[in-house]
Amino acid sequence: MEKVVRETVRCPETFGHSYPKDLVAFIYERWQDASFVERLCPRRERCQFELAPREVLEQVLSTCYQASLLREEERPVMFRLIIRDRHLFPAEEGPPTGIHRLVFSRTRPFNEYELHRLAPAADFYRTLIGISIDPQEGAQIWGLLHSGTRWMHAVYGGRKTSPPLPVCLVVYVTGAGQISVCIGAEIIASLNAGQITCPTLDVFNSRWIADSLAFVHAETWALHQAARARSGKIWANLDTDFGKNIGQQAIRRIISVIRNTHHGGLLVYLPPEMTQEILEQNSFMTIKYQFLEYESRQRFRTLTLRIMNTLAEMHGDPRDPEKMVGWLEYVNSKNETISLLDEAIFDVAHFIAALSAVDGAVVISKRQELLGFGGVISGDLDSVGVVTHALDTEGTRTEPVLSERVGTRHRAAYRLCQKLHEAIAIVISQDESVQIVKWHNGSVTYWDQVPTGVPGF
């Protein structure tokens, strides 16, 4: 079997089962890739960071693996662990903008039983267990680091900035035999069900998605420019990707909410010119619950445009008419109007996610116009026996897969995308896996939106 290349990194063969020792070997192999190290470690920190000795890292991961197999009152053992000396964390900081260091009066032994006892107090989403490596004693637990939950916004979608983790080893334990190893916030590799996986580049940042939605972003940008001209004021210049970033964060939030419900769902994005056709009798699908063509159906784009206009206006400076603003200014803004608009746009995302609880597809135009839910894809559409599994972000490397391996929700999405080449379907399974489906390079193609190793995404 060919090795799968992701981010120019070779993942291991999928034959047999892998264990913590294999995961360590793979991490050390990745560390030989200079471009990988350069991407994860800024130049100013690269010389200050080294991987833990192989035997020490094997001990740490093996202990985490054993702890993951234990149970805490019938609940899985979950925790985050960071390998860094306590003196390297400031004592006076804390969430939401910093990390709160709490040092035990004496170090605790690093073993699976101590991790099992600490895990309930070290809430996965808020706290890390701090360990250091002593040359004589080996790994020791020195205390806890309270990070708060803002770090999850990068996973679930959101604009709040989180305190950055330093360039050091971080381990996620998310269930029995489920371990992810990170450098700071960047996952190197994960061990799950005896298989080592490494994350791909985010599918939502692919060129093909950008091309598919380019005309929509152009329309929104034209509306923003028209509002700017009508205002008669000096507005700051917006980063042209800003509107796209807002939409991407909202889609992440929709997917993560559906995944957390464990009932699965199907989102279908259609070209705007099909809006009227799909709401009438057609050969593609029927939508049981349709929304009328009022402003409320287009609320997402309305809110996006208001955020763009508000940000540009509030940063307008007659002394600097060429000033450029974008995502950084948005996430750091303390402006009340921006905060309310941000909250509103994610309320819409949660509302859309809730609609997926009804059997059938939630149908949305690529302008983010909510057309309806309970959409049933026609069974008269030709079936798809073989689909293409994309092995990289742009779908340049692929493998054929029989469609009989998946459920009815997936097969319905395949049928629709075979007939409507401009449609994009996002299929969320009850087991929380996510597929993005599109007609691509002459066949129905799906991408796995690879989990981050974080529960709920």
Which residues, listed in sequence order, are joined to residue 178 by a DSSP beta bridge?
175
Per DSSP, helices labelled H in 315-423 are: 327-332, 336-355, 408-419
Q: What pLDDT, on a 0 to 100 scale, did the predictor assign at position 260?
A: 77
What are the boundaries of each domain within the chain?
5-197, 203-448
Q: What pLDDT, on a 0 to 100 scale, did the predictor assign at position 5?
A: 35
> Is 21 in a helix, a strand, or coil?
helix
| pLDDT tens-place string over residues 321-346 | 899 999 889 988 889 999 999 889 88
Mean local confidence (pLDDT), 184-209 = 79
**In angstroms, how far is CA 96 from the centroid of its own chain?**
21
Mean local confidence (pLDDT), 78-94 = 87
The dihedrals phi and psi of 218, each to the nearest 5 degrees, come to -65, -40
Long-range contact list for 430-435, CB < 8 A, 24+ apart?
430/262, 430/263, 430/264, 432/259, 432/262, 432/456, 434/255, 434/259, 435/410
Predicted confidence (pLDDT) at residue 450 exceeds the cutoff of 60:
no
Tokens 């796209």 found at: 244
Token pair in block for residue 308 = 């763009």
Model-level pTM greater than 0.75? no
Q: How far apart are CA 377 and CA 356, in angstroms?
A: 14
| pLDDT tens-place string over residues 33-65 | 776 677 666 554 544 677 888 999 999 999 999
Q: What is the CATH number of domain 203-448?
A: 3.40.1700.10
Q: How far apart are CA 162 and CA 177, in angstroms?
A: 28
Residue percentage of the chain with pLDDT more than 90: 50
| Cβ burial 354-392 (10 Å sphere, 16+ → b, else e) | bbbeeebbbbbbbbbbbbbbbbebeeebeebeebbebbb
Q: What pLDDT, on a 0 to 100 scale, did the predictor assign at position 36?
A: 67
Count the neighbouring beta carbons within 10 Å of the beta carbon of residue 48. Answer: 11
Mean local confidence (pLDDT), 378-406 = 89
